[in-house]
Amino acid sequence: MLEFRVLGPVEVRIDGRLVDAGPPRQRGVLAALAVDAGRPVQMDTLIDRVWGDSPPQRARHTLQVHLSRLRRVLEPPEGGAGRDADATGSGAGRDAAGGEARLVRRSGGYLLDVDPDRVDLLRFRGLLDQARDRQQPAMRQATLLRQALDLWQGVPLADLPGDWAARVREACHQQRRDALVDWAAAELRRGNPAAVLAPLAEAVAEYPLAEPVVAVLMRALSALGRDAEALDRYAAVRTRLADQLGADPGAELRAAYQAALRGGPATDRRGEPERQGQHGPQGRHQPVPAQLPLDIPGFLGRDEELDRLDAVLRAGAARPTAVTVCVLSGTAGVGKTTLAVHWAHRVRDRFPDGQLYVNLRGFDPTGTAVSSGDAVRAFLAALGVAPHRVPDDPSARTALYRSLLAGRRVLVVLDNARDAEQVRPLLPGSPDCLVLVTSRNQLTSLVAGEGAHPVRLDLLTDDDARGLLAARIGADRAAAEPAAVREIVAACARLPLALAILAARAATNPRLPLRVLAAELRDARGGLDAWHGGDRATDLRAVFSRSEHALSPAAARLFRLLGLYAGPDIGLPAAASLAGVSSARVRPLLAELTDAHLLDEHEPRRYTFHDLLRAFAAELGDTDVPGPDRESAVRRLLDHYLHTGHAAAMLLHPHADPLPLAAPEPGVTPEELGDREQALAWFAAEQRTLLAAVDRAGDAGLDTHVWQLVSTNATYVDRGGRWQEWLPVQEAALAAARRSADPAGEARTRRLLGLGQARLRRHDEARAQYQHALALFGDLGDHAGQAHTHLSISWSYGRQGRHADGLGHAEAALAAYRSAGNKAGQADALNAIGWRYAQLGDHEQSLTYCRQALDLHQATGHRQGEAATLDSLGYAHHHLGQYEQAADCYRRALELFRQAGDRMHEAELLVHLGDTHAAAGDVDAAARQWRAAVGILDDLDDPDADVVRAKLDGLGRH
């Protein structure tokens, strides 16, 4: 018999004999398929599971090689494995496996076609599902659970590295703990407490903070009359909880303690755990987010589904060690979000520590789904975490999110999820939380892997559909034309979205007979093909068309043009440029679309579609807008983002070389940004939109727009540390610049790509790009471009501690800047030379160059450059023992950074100033500066605050 084992090392066995499944990566591929045996796994998901964030360059090819080898293991050619297979001992296994398991190609992925009972993890979960039937006798439950526990052979996926394997291990261990507790409880119910003592004692040693395990062990000890031992167990775990978590025992453990005190039976796992307060373990106040969208007034129906959601909430109390997850699934427009938000409002008092909500946009037609990393980042912000304190590593970010929710009762609503992989990083670890997911997919792997509760949302009943329509248009009006109401409900297929749109038209036209609407629906044909309900009389395109036809001509034109746009949302000024009108003229058109429920103003002056409406608008844009008009509209929109982005970039870096932009299309009105803060806010709001704009420009063959859009975003990306996300976009920009045969654009793009690679410490790749850029700038005679590139190379060498190499390029940058007559660049280069000399220990030379840099910065009015140079001067003076001069430079730089509102650099300067005071022997002055720095760093939640505290502690010891 064939067996796949993952509850231990990954193995394939035939009749108990081990079959060679290949090297670790190949076994990783097998495990990635086996845990979802019987269900297709997408190629991208397989790659992520096997290699995580570091796939090889030809990951798909390598994966295909592993799959081919696995197929030979599982499906040998006819005629047997041959002499070599017999010699290795694996041939018999291959022959036996041939008829029991197959690797099957599915659209975009692969499926391991095998009986789930042949995979130990799936058999384990199947036995748990059978045992959950509370109607079964305790003996039967205990037997099933014991069989499940006996399948374990050690640490799951023990020989596999990576985040995915770690997540699976974590989930498996949680399920094993739950199964062990359930098995012990079943044995206690059948009067067999002695049988559970040894396994539970081992489990307590393995999981010393798992309260349900300790609680059931205490109950077993009490059942045997060993109450004193039970009380000792309680005292030990209470001490561990206090010391390690700063927490008190939960309700179930306290119940077992009370039972041991009085010598009576304790309550079982079904008691509801007591929640913690709104303060963390150290007593620090934690924000209470309340992110639920508005509930729908007059919500009707869905009683059965609401009861099922209530049952999920109650079931969570019976699983005090596992977070409760519910998946609400159904077709688009069926009302998943409406129901989820309504139910969340009904039960939010059960979650006093907060409610988190995110629209994951998993089925956005543009493919611009919200990444798990961005969603976790947003949740951390809602929980009070400062942006710079959010880890860059996705795993660390998720770990921080789960730590903040530990012990808190929070409701998490994940709306419009694409798949289980998008959801998993957003699941808390706290059993006091509940997660409600909505999706068009059933997310069966989430049900199988995380024990999620599936709730399917179907079409409305006839009564509920008629009730919804009556509530929107008025009960009297609906009662006056019951036949028309029935026909409208049938034509809308009892789909809430279709009903709501049609009801909006009826409500805004109170004199229009309902029978006229019914006749229009009956006569209309051709609805949205992708959303056809199976009945030719129910056509969503007809529903949307009727609302669209009721618009004014200008609003209808804007609706069609919005369908040409691929971004996740659009701001009012961008919509104006898309339409080629002023903001004043587009504002009432947007209001008309929102009033007609054809557009949603999800943030002030920012608009988005429901995805069905987006598909409808896109079809109209393709069919009803003439080709030249479509091309002009797309170019206007791209010009809007390009010219506004360029203006924003120049505000962030006034001394940068401007791009040689072509004049914008007629009708484009770039946004007016007054200062650096507005520029930063614009870039922050438009990041996902700019990514979509780059893609749209590529699709339209506008290569110059591609590389220039990416270039305008470079300064913001660099200051925000977003190179990991934007580096592939930079590579696409380089390809576009090369296609456009624009050597200046290619040179600039290569330099920016090199900057991103250097930021990510890929210095060899970066310098290769820099060398290409230098050659191109040289061919063009662009001295400033060469200078910028030399300065970038110098900085890259400095990042590696190669200051002598960096010095040569800083000097070359200075010469090129002088040839270009670029005073601001000369100042930057002089400061870079001075800093390199300081790092090489020649502080006198450092002073010479930095003083020249300071004069030029002051002459050009480059305040940030002046402050940075003063910092360099202070460093050189300090290391020459000239503490008074150093302190003076640091104070002047400090004032400039304060004027700029740059608190991070202000804190750094305070630390430097304190260092100088300490070196000069003025420990009181040093302490004042360091304390001020700690105050700022604490306010910014910067970990360097502890480094400065260590300096203060050092003063105290001396």
* Number of domains observed in the structure of the chain: 6
Do 515 and 607 have their domain in common? no
| Residue-range definition of the domain harbouring residue 949 | 902-958
Report which of residues 201 and 277 the model is more confident about: 201
Q: Where are the alpha helices (DSSP H) in 675-782?
A: 676-699, 703-712, 714-720, 723-739, 743-759, 763-780
Domain termination residue (choose one: 232, 262, 292): 262
Report which of residues 242 and 589 the model is more confident about: 589
How does residue 106 score in pLDDT terms, banded at 50, 70 and 90? confident
Mean of the pLDDT values across residues 73-102?
46
Do 430 and 337 have their domain in common? yes
pLDDT at 92: 31
Structural domain includes residue 798: no
> What tokens were used for 634?
């797309």
pLDDT surpassing 60 at residue 367: no
CA distance 368 to 695: 11
Do 452 and 560 have their domain in common? no
Structural domain includes residue 646: no
pLDDT surpassing 60 at residue 268: no
Check which CATH number belongs to the domain holding 612 and give it.
Answer: 1.10.10.10
Do 558 and 424 have their domain in common? no
DSSP reduced 3-state for 25: helix
Do 149 and 98 have their domain in common? no
Do 236 and 255 have their domain in common? yes
Q: Count Cα atoms within 13 angstroms, Cβ side, for 398.
A: 15
Q: What is the pTM of this model?
A: 0.52
Predicted confidence (pLDDT) per residue in 56-75, tens digit: 877 888 888 888 888 888 87
pLDDT at 269: 43
Predicted confidence (pLDDT) per residue in 670-685, tens digit: 999 988 889 988 988 8
DSSP reduced 3-state for 826: helix
Domain termination residue (choose one: 603, 625, 647): 625
Do 187 and 240 have their domain in common? yes
Report strand pairing: 17-19 vs 11-14. antiparallel
Structural domain includes residue 806: no
DSSP reduced 3-state for 897: helix
Structural domain includes residue 844: no
> What tokens were used for 370?
């919200």
Predicted confidence (pLDDT) per residue in 630-664, tens digit: 999 999 999 999 999 999 999 988 888 899 999 99
Gyration radius of the chain's alpha carbons = 33
pLDDT at 940: 61
Do 351 and 396 have their domain in common? yes
Do 562 and 515 have their domain in common? no
Q: At 668, which amino acid appears?
A: V
- CA dist 95 → 78, 92, 525 (Å): 9, 5, 57
Q: At 309, which helix (H) or strand (E)?
A: helix 303-317
Predicted confidence (pLDDT) per residue in 143-180, tens digit: 999 999 999 988 999 888 888 888 888 888 888 988 99
Predicted confidence (pLDDT) per residue in 861-906, tens digit: 888 789 989 999 999 999 999 999 999 999 999 998 787 656 767 8
Q: Is 334 exposed, middle or buried (0-12, 13-18, 19+ CB in 10 A)?
A: buried
Q: Is 764 exposed, middle or buried (0-12, 13-18, 19+ CB in 10 A)?
A: exposed
| Angle CA 794–797–801, to nearest 5 | 130
Structural domain includes residue 875: no
Mean of the pLDDT values across residues 382-389?
80
Do 423 and 307 have their domain in common? yes
Q: Kindly report which listed range (130-144, 488-502, 803-817, 913-927) carries the lowest average pLDDT score.
A: 488-502
Mean of the pLDDT values across residues 304-327?
84
pLDDT at 941: 66
Structural domain includes residue 802: no
Q: At 329, which helix (H) or strand (E)?
A: strand 324-329
How does residue 527 score in pLDDT terms, banded at 50, 70 and 90? very low
Domain termination residue (choose one: 429, 456, 483): 456
Predicted confidence (pLDDT) per residue in 389-409, tens digit: 777 778 878 888 888 888 788
Q: At 299, which amino acid appears?
A: F
Residue 334 and residue 302 in contact, taking contact as beta carbons nearer than 8 Å: no
Check which CATH number belongs to the domain holding 246 and give it.
Answer: 1.25.40.10
Do 64 and 190 have their domain in common? no
Q: Is 324 exposed, middle or buried (0-12, 13-18, 19+ CB in 10 A)?
A: buried
- Phi and psi for 513 in degrees, rounded to 5? -65, 145
Count other C-beta atoms under 10 Å from residue 858's C-beta: 14
Report strand pairing: 17-19 vs 41-42. unpaired
Do 327 and 452 have their domain in common? yes
Over pLDDT 70: what percentage of the chain? 89
Q: Kindly report which listed range (359-373, 685-699, 755-769, 905-919) carries the lowest average pLDDT score.
A: 359-373
Structural domain includes residue 439: yes
Structural domain includes residue 834: no
Reported residue count of the chain is 958
